[in-house]
Amino acid sequence: MFGGICVKLRQATRLTLVDQVVAQMDELIQSGEWPVGKRIPAEPELVNQLGVSRNTVREAVRALVHTGLLETRQGDGTYVCSSSELGAALLRRLQRSTIVETLEVRYALEQEAARLAAARRTPEDIEALRECLASCSAAKDVEAYIQADMKLHQAIVNSTHNRFLADLYEHMNEAIKVSIGSTVEYTVLSELHEDMQLHDKVHSDLVTAIIDGEPEASAGAVRAHIQLSQDVLLEKDNKEHSCNE
């Protein structure tokens, strides 16, 4: 009896072989050994490594595809599309959203993260932020700059010491990359390739405000970053409309 209600419990069962294989694959995904965007080993290799039948491997892969962690591409293999069920859920939701809606949510998170980071950053966080900022300045091409930019923004969110916020932001970025291929910010950075100093200045102001412990100035720097992106996107959109007329 529980609260006056008779609850019938099922007897616990041991994990099936398929469940064990799913758990092993899930661990490889979550640990990053199978990173997002990469193709997992082919079926024969998995059969050999795991010492199980093809049917067991297929069922395990099918289960992970169903949860959204893997994606099977006809004639090309199976790819990791999320590192967690949270990321997979965000990916499904983002696929029903516009790019503008998605980035508005992300920027809202970034502003609050900047405020919290300014109030909570530790000496270790400050060192990490400075290293990320230096990596942005040292980037030699757009792709390297994008990677450094992403790490910087994640480091800022990590400096809030709010694990839920950090996980949410990380998985949101992950889902954006998968669902869109490249975020609007990637396009913005490409457009700014000839004038990276402008973007570096915004980053520098943001990191400085956080290090100095100024929450409102930190949030203001994020808004400046948003405005810079919006200006470039507006100019790009105007050019596309002019070409189509």
- Top mean-pLDDT range of 94-108, 134-148, 191-205, 212-226: 212-226
The candidate with the shortest Cα–Cα distance to 133, out of 230, 205, 226, is 205
Cα 159 to chain center, whole Å? 17
Both tokens assigned to 189: 């950075």
Mean pLDDT computed over 202-225: 92
Q: Which CATH class is domain 86-244?
A: mainly alpha
Q: Are 95 and 179 in contact (CB under 8 A)?
A: yes
pLDDT 10s digits, 84-138: 777 777 777 877 877 677 778 888 899 999 999 999 999 999 999 999 999 988 8
> Region 173-183: what's the mean pLDDT?
56
pLDDT in tens, 11-69: 444 668 898 999 999 889 888 899 888 899 999 999 999 999 999 999 999 999 988 88
Give the pLDDT confidence score for residue 190 in this predicted structure: 54
Quick one: pLDDT at residue 147?
80
Answer yes or no: pTM beyond 0.85. Answer: no
Rounded Cα–Cα distance for residues 26 and 15 (Å): 15
pLDDT exceeds cutoff 50 at 182: no
Residues 6+ apart with CB under 8 A from 86: 167, 168, 171
Is pLDDT at 170 greater than 90 in this prediction? no
pLDDT at residue number 150? 83
Question: Is 1.10.10.10 the CATH number for 17-83?
Answer: yes
* Segments making up each domain of the chain, as ranges: 17-83, 86-244
Classify 5 as helix, strand or coil: strand
d(CA 61, CA 234): 43
Q: Which residue has the higher pLDDT, 240 or 19?
A: 19
The residue written with tokens 């199976």 in the block is 78
- 3-class state of residue 39 by DSSP: strand
